[in-house]
Structure 1
């Protein structure tokens, strides 16, 4: 453990996925004024646990459920982005907002937790590249292409369980536009929650390395949220990263698990793809059950010590802690800089692919059935009637 803590003092532990912002919505309706993260102990994550766990950098999840798709997903996602910014403002001694690889290193030198944002679910952009670009401007640095529902442009992981039907054979043509725009922006592409077909398509076409922000090894636990060996090999070729999920369901495919079970996933990913493609993606505050010895964020050093007991070298542990993610992010930034002269993609998704009662068609060459809101029509009718009444009265 002493050696583990020493290594964690030299290299930032960068975790790929934490759902504390969603807990703030569910428990407090995003009213941070009603909670003190220094003392609140009802979540896997609070400030004392972060300190004990030596958390160097965290991708906080801006997540909204699939039932918000076609409704208010964009608004709710912006509110979750706002929560992360406000967390950093409320606790500046603990958190430093980060949007680049250099920011992570700067925060680590200042002994603060670098706070990055990942949007978990393509439904959050409502099939809009403009929305995606706006989220990047607000600091979002990865997009999980789907959560647990198909979008109008990508299939989700449930397709591989056959509980949902493929709508796009992976990515639609617009989905491929999204991948190119993510590369151009310098936003990480997160393949957690997508089916194997999408994994293969993205690994083939992306110019930048990809991440799995919170997924484990399928060979160890045959859950469709996990990553098969042939994909691990392609991740190695692409120099990406698989950040191991700690949730029992993805670790042992059963109700219980322990630290050794999680380390088995690290060992397997290292065996197939090398220590350079593995990282930490705890999924704290997003799952109901966690392994014995990894019950909250403070316990992560237990896993680092377990890897050392398994003869992982100092260099391998440092790579898994944060070196790998930093490399992936830096390369994604280099791809962005190389594409800096490329114009933003402003070709919208075909209207027929997104038409629904909650969407207007402004800008498209189709009749806009919702051009006049019923309430507006009623108000207009009332106004005209009033004017007629006034005119007749004066006569």
Structure 2
């Protein structure tokens, strides 16, 4: 039987062609207005963060601040550490995030779709997104992958060995079918090239390092309409340099943000710096929120299209 998945439409390209990104906005503001303009952008387009660490103790007194200024949604990392029983540790982390959300109902809401992310924003909550799960927590089983999907996991990291083996190939195809995002954070360049050759949906790098990736890999990421989510940890200027390179090689549709130790001041300072460098509003909106939600939406569309054509 012909492989029907390969006949599925390339919805990433279709969405880009249909104008998913915001239309061009007004010219950048003068220096005296940059801070106020940055605040307004982050208020209207709060960051979808690629990484939030799960607290060890979910007791109310030990909970982290439930929502930081300028943050509208977060991927909560479910990655198991070295030496852990990966599956049990992943399940524990899922339970911890759910406990955290239940303990902070006025600030957080668990979200599984872009519609639920929008609902959380409309209610003044930050959306909590489950994932990514580490590749080791799959145990070489697509059945385990499907079980995580049933538990509302939205992303799985494929950054194990340098070689892209048959299981990784099949896992990418099954993630596409389920609507689970392929996270290529920390993967070797050859692994990224191989995954991008297989996937029919856009990928994510929830903890991306564009400065460590070859030019051709970033260009391939742009062709995939995938998103590299960059941490704001080495200073605003260094982060802006990394984003400039990513924007030049992959395009504005591949920009995203991973995390920041001080989100309120850090994201605002970064946006001020990007405005100083002449970034237009539409690229900043894509960076903070638009691209991450687009990848989730296109993954949902692709999943609905392919589930009708190919069984598990």
Q: TM-score, normalised by structure 2?
A: 0.84
Q: CA deviation at 1:119?
A: 2.5
Aligned with residue 96 of structure 1, among 89, 109, 128: 109
Q: CA deviation at 1:342?
A: 4.5
Q: Deviations over 1:218-257 (max 9, x none)?
A: 2xxxxxxx3221111111111111111234xxxxxxxxx3
Cα separation, 1, equivalents of 2:38 and 2:271: 6
CA contact 1:15–1:58 (8 Å) conserved in 2: yes
**Residue 46 of structure 2 aligns with which residue?**
12
Higher relative contact order by CA 8 Å / sep ≥ 6: 1 or 2?
A: 2
Q: CA deviation at 1:271?
A: 1.3
1:46 aligns with 2:39: no
Aligned with residue 230 of structure 2, among 220, 235, 244: 244
**Residue 314 of structure 1 aligns with which residue?**
281
**Residue 307 of structure 2 aligns with which residue?**
340
**Residue 367 of structure 1 aligns with which residue?**
none
Q: Which runs of 5+ in 1 are unaligned?
A: 38-44, 157-169, 219-225, 248-256, 285-294, 346-395
1:212 aligns with 2:205: yes
Aligned with residue 278 of structure 1, among 250, 255, 259: 255
Cα separation, 2, equivalents of 1:217 and 1:61: 20
CA contact 1:117–1:139 (8 Å) conserved in 2: yes
CA contact 1:279–1:322 (8 Å) conserved in 2: yes
Q: Deviations over 1:346-385 (max 9, x none)?
A: xxxxxxxxxxxxxxxxxxxxxxxxxxxxxxxxxxxxxxxx
**Residue 263 of structure 1 aligns with which residue?**
240
Structure with higher Rg: it is 1
CA contact 2:75–2:132 (8 Å) conserved in 1: no
**Secondary structure of the equivalent of 2:74?**
strand
1:328 aligns with 2:295: yes
Aligned residues: 277
**Residue 79 of structure 1 aligns with which residue?**
92
Cα separation, 2, equivalents of 1:119 and 1:344: 24
Q: CA deviation at 1:177?
A: 0.8
Q: CA deviation at 1:113?
A: 0.5
Cα separation, 2, equivalents of 1:100 and 1:34: 27
Q: Deviations over 1:29-51 (max 9, x none)?
A: xxx226343xxxxxxx523xx33
CA contact 1:66–1:123 (8 Å) conserved in 2: no
**Secondary structure of the equivalent of 1:35?**
helix
Query: Structure 1 stretches (4+) deviating beyond 6 angstroms?
Result: none
Aligned with residue 298 of structure 1, among 252, 264, 268: 264
Cα separation, 1, equivalents of 2:186 and 2:268: 27
Cα separation, 2, equivalents of 1:199 and 1:172: 12
Aligned with residue 105 of structure 1, among 95, 118, 132: 118
Q: CA deviation at 1:127?
A: 1.3
CA contact 1:184–1:342 (8 Å) conserved in 2: no
**Secondary structure of the equivalent of 1:66?**
coil
CA contact 1:203–1:234 (8 Å) conserved in 2: yes
Correspondences of 1:66-215 after superposition (within 5 Å): 66-68=82-84, 72-146=85-159, 150=160, 155-156=161-162, 170-215=163-208
**Secondary structure of the equivalent of 2:217?**
helix
Cα separation, 2, equivalents of 1:344 and 1:183: 12
Cα separation, 1, equivalents of 2:309 and 2:207: 31
CA contact 2:132–2:183 (8 Å) conserved in 1: no
Cα separation, 2, equivalents of 1:198 and 1:213: 16
Cα separation, 2, equivalents of 1:64 and 1:35: 24
CA contact 2:206–2:229 (8 Å) conserved in 1: yes
**Secondary structure of the equivalent of 1:189?**
strand
Provide closer, same or farther for how the CA distance between residues 344 and 123 of structure 1 changes in structure 2, counting only shifts above 3 A. farther
